[in-house]
């Protein structure tokens, strides 16, 4: 199998590339990434010497570049996306271009090349917030941020290509990912690296918002299961059942560093901030997948990873700080 991975220098994408190359010795990966501010080739430095791995810098919204790079690939896995909610609130234009128009380009290129499998990586944020219970794959989409709306639009576009063109597409919607190689503007890497530097953890509102924390390696295994055993045209939620408030996560991290609750700095809440995400994962479980990383273990491992890989995140944090959002204390 020759897999065309988009956004492979990003957080989830880089972990997936490494997962595939480690698990499947006969597979090849073409990593197509624009290297925007959140993309980092250093995240796959250990793969550069592998003859099965090829990096191509390019934009998924540019059809000629995509068609040329995708030639010879039989599978597409699309991670490429603008993904930071705060940035989408300030300016949604890049999100529409990449997350919607870029997906249309990928779908058309894949159709032209006769690709056998197209996995589109989405998010549980497309469902919106839920007070009680959990969303299943057939529930209506009610996105509440421009980022989530752009991902929901892409999901519907992918579905339309299945219905209209019989495209061999599948969609995964995962909960909050965490783990190594996450760009230090998201909550967990900001919190961990701030604590390393003796700075407070910025926390929106009262911190009561609930997220289901899924280790990125578990998500990669789930995407792998969907890629190989999923049914075309179907959507698969991927979650871990680790529903924890942001305040509890921040408190646990502070405790790991021997810090008190004074290490948590409450900041004005984000506009339209979803209170709770929760998804039913029975469908992906039927493919033989289950989450394997307990949240406490994964959180401790993440802290150690950022402690041991300062050379990776320090330059990125300096870059993030230069373009920091008003409420992001990094």
Q: What's the CA dihedral at 127, 216, 35, 149 to 10 degrees?
A: 0
The position carrying tokens 């796959």 is 44
Q: Which DSSP state fits 181?
A: T
The position carrying tokens 């995240």 is 43
Q: Catalytic: 125?
A: yes
How far apart (Å, rounded) are the C-alpha atoms in residues 100 and 179? 27
Picking from 228, 249, 221, 211, the residue whose alpha carbon sits closest to that of residue 170 is 228
- Bridge partner residues of 203 (DSSP): 266
329 and 202 Cβ atoms separated by less than 8 Å: yes
75: left (phi over 0), alpha (psi -120 to 50) or beta: beta
Q: Which of 147, 204, 236, 277 is catalytic?
A: 147
Q: Which DSSP state fits 187?
A: H
72: left (phi over 0), alpha (psi -120 to 50) or beta: left
Sheet (strand 2-6) strand order: 53-57, 28-33, 2-6, 75-78, 117-123, 169-174, 235-238
Task: Provide φ and ψ at 220, rounded to 5°.
Answer: -60, -40
Instruction: Provide the b/e sequence for 284-301 (b: ≥16 CB within 10 Å).
Output: bbebebebebebeebbeb
H-helix or E-strand containing 176? Answer: strand 176-178
Q: Catalytic: 310?
A: no
Q: Catalytic: 27?
A: no
Q: Which of 86, 125, 224, 243 is catalytic?
A: 125
**Any residues with CB less than 8 A from the CB of 293 and at least 6 apart, and which?**
215, 217, 218, 240, 301
Cite the active site residues: 124-125, 147
């Amino acid at each position: 199998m020759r897999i065309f991975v988009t956004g492979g220098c990003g957080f989830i994408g880089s972990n997936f590339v490494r997962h595939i190359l480690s698990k499947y010795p006969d597979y090849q990966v073409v990593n197509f990434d624009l290297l925007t501010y959140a993309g980092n080739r250093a995240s796959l430095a250990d793969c550069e010497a592998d003859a099965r791995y090829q990096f191509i810098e390019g934009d998924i919204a540019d059809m000629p570049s995509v068609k040329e790079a995708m030639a010879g690939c039989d599978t597409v896995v699309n991670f490429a996306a603008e993904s930071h909610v705060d940035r989408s609130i300030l300016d949604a234009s890049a999100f529409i271009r990449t997350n919607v128009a870029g997906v249309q380009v990928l779908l058309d290129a894949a159709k032209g090349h006769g690709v056998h499998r197209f996995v589109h990586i989405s998010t549980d944020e497309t469902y919106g917030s839920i007070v009680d219970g959990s969303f299943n794959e057939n529930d209506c989409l009610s996105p509440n941020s421009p980022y989530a709306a752009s991902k929901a639009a892409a999901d519907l576009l992918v579905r339309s290509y299945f219905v209209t063109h019989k495209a061999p597409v599948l969609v995964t919607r995962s909960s909050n990912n965490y783990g190594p190689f996450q760009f230090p503007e998201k909550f967990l890497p900001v919190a961990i690296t701030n604590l390393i530097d003796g700075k407070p953890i910025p926390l929106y509102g009262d911190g009561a918002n609930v997220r289901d924390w899924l280790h990125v390696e578990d998500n990669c295994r789930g995407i792998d299961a969907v890629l190989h055993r999923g049914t075309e045209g179907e959507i698969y939620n991927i979650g871990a059942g680790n529903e924890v408030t942001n305040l509890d996560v921040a408190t646990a991290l502070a405790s790991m560093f021997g810090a008190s609750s004074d290490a948590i700095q409450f900041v004005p809440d984000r506009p339209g901030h979803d209170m709770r995400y929760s998804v039913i994962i029975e469908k992906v479980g039927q493919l033989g997948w289950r989450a394997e990383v307990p949240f406490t273990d994964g959180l401790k491992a993440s802290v150690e990873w950022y402690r041991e890989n300062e050379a990776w995140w320090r330059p990125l944090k300096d870059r993030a700080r230069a373009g920091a959002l008003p409420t992001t204390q990094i």
